[in-house]
Structure 1
């Protein structure tokens, strides 16, 4: 299977329009690459593609990737969109896909309900094009295309629900994608509050893991005076620390680890930082827009 990182930053991108933190300042000066908001595309054979999350930058991301451009008169190679949650930075791009003849959407009942009755994104989209909802059931193996299957898994979170009380389960999921011909496994997990035993079991032994790299420190935004919440309170396990991803992942026997969904404040976005060197010394990678992975 093939995967293309369309966007490697968290909500707001890097640089964020209203942020003057050291990383955003460096990116604006040209000493670091700009990044769009988090999303990837996956394909079994490199012809038809599945989008995981639809960011507000989806149009720019499609134009930057020839594999997702139309072939002929509005014949798009985009087969469906899979959602990990109902966050605006993962779903607003659905509205930019409204010219589609129809859109197939894979989402848990909790996410689907939030998009219809909470944020209203889905109700608006349905005024423009037909939407076929396919309910995502965590733990169930589902064929996506010939040679490609996926299994969603629940990602527990205590993050505040912005659109009403919400549900306890299915608010956030990760996806384990399998190449049915080679048996190769890839896990996409852009949002994770803790590495629970269940999540470790889903990750362990996979050939490639794209994982939440939102903040380096738990109090990163607090230290910079940009927010009053820690990374964990926002639903994201930090990279650093005794129980952070950098310390925990080596024991899970993952072939390749790539950090995605980095906040604009995270110093690993810049190549010449101590934090970036620590990630690379551990044998892990930091995604950039346009990174391609074959499993």
Structure 2
């Protein structure tokens, strides 16, 4: 399986248009240790020709432009054959509207996410008037055991895992999320057993999530914030990371402590907020991550399993 990181940033990317944090300012000033980052999305393929997209960032058109393997080779075509949504967050779903010329799209998501995308943030409903009816919804069950398959990746099976995080800010279920509002996705090679576990948002570490992390060969996990109060201390927000559905990296309850206990997987962070000091590769925080054997993904990164 080939995995391509299309976007590695959290909502707003880096630089965020209205942000003057150290990282955004540093990038604008030309600091070479800080990379540009679009909002998080990955794509995976079995054959390098047909691709499954995991989340549609608002930056999807730029991401496709920067990814020649996604460029059409016929007069009109798309290499994106299916789309999986981990949640209904704006930074994971808005890009669907930018892909309207490629309708109908095969969409795989939970019924909770499908409900949001047809009501509170009706991107799928809006596309019903486009070619072929816009989208074809395939329900996935977030029970960790019910597999689903995608025709363009016949050697792979997929599993969805319910996560405790938060519903989108626009949602009626904000701060009271339902099971299925947030999921992690496991992709398993039927022949080799090799596993990718992708979870760009995680608010609480549960036993079933930890078990899946431990069994993965590649773990792509959120690295949104360095400290839980990062947004408060920087005067960018009044909310803790955990209020927004994100476990911080540092501290006694942070993800670094958890990742240190995992021996098998290659550990790679994604969905990293522009305020996070690890995005400056000269920072002590970045160097600390590397010393723990944890990688920081970047736009255009290729991973092979």
TM over 0.5: same fold? yes
Secondary structure, counterpart of 1:199 in structure 2:
helix
Worse overlay, 136-145 or 272-281:
136-145
1:100-111 → structure 2 map (5 Å cutoff): 100-111=102-113
Partner of residue 24, structure 1:
24
CA deviation digits over 1:137-180, x for unaligned, max 9? 12211122221221111001355752223761100001001122
State the SS of the aligned residue for 2:129. coil
Tell me the equivalent position of 2:50.
48
The 8 Å contact of residues 185 and 197 in structure 2, kept in 1 or not, is answered as: yes
Q: Within the alignment, does 1:202 sit opposite 2:212 as a pair? A: yes
Aligned CA distance change for structure 1 residues 288 and 160 (closer, same or farther; 3 Å): closer
Farther-moved stretch of structure 1 (55-64 vs 24-33): 24-33
Instruction: Name the counterpart of 2:186.
Output: 176
Moved more, 151-160 or 199-208: 151-160
Gaps of 5+ in 1: none
- The residue correspondences of 1:127-276 to structure 2 (distance < 5 A) are 127-129=129-131, 130=133, 131-138=135-142, 139=144, 140-144=146-150, 145-158=153-166, 162-165=170-173, 168-276=178-286
Contact kept in structure 2, 1:3 and 1:294, CA below 8 Å: yes
Which runs of no fewer than 5 residues in structure 2 stay unpaired?
none
Query: Secondary structure of 1:227's match?
Result: coil
Deviation at 1:81, TM superposition (A): 0.6
State the partner residue of 1:113.
115
Larger mean CA deviation between 257-266 and 28-37 belongs to: 28-37
TM-score scaled to structure 1, two decimals? 0.97
Runs of 4+ off more than 4 Å? 158-161
CA displacement 1:162-217 (0-9 Å, x = unmatched): 22237611000010011222211011110000211111011112111000100000
Give the length in aligned residue pairs. 295
**Partner residue of 1:6?**
6
Using structure 2 for the length normalisation, give the TM-score.
0.94
Partner of 1:67: 69
State the shift of 1:98 in Å.
0.4
C-alpha separation in 2, matches of 1:158 and 1:191: 9
Q: Deviations over 1:219-251 (max 9, x none)?
A: 000000010001110100001011111111121
Answer yes or no: is the 8 Å Cα contact 2:89–2:168 preserved in 1: no
Q: Pick one of 292, 298, 302 that aligns with 1:292.
A: 302
3-state SS, counterpart of residue 100 of structure 2: coil
- Give the Cα–Cα distance (whole angstroms) in 2 for the partners of residues 44 and 156 of structure 1: 30
Question: SS of the counterpart of 1:85?
Answer: coil
Q: Distance in 2 between matches of 1:117 and 1:73?
A: 35
CA distance in 2, matches of 1:209, 1:28: 31
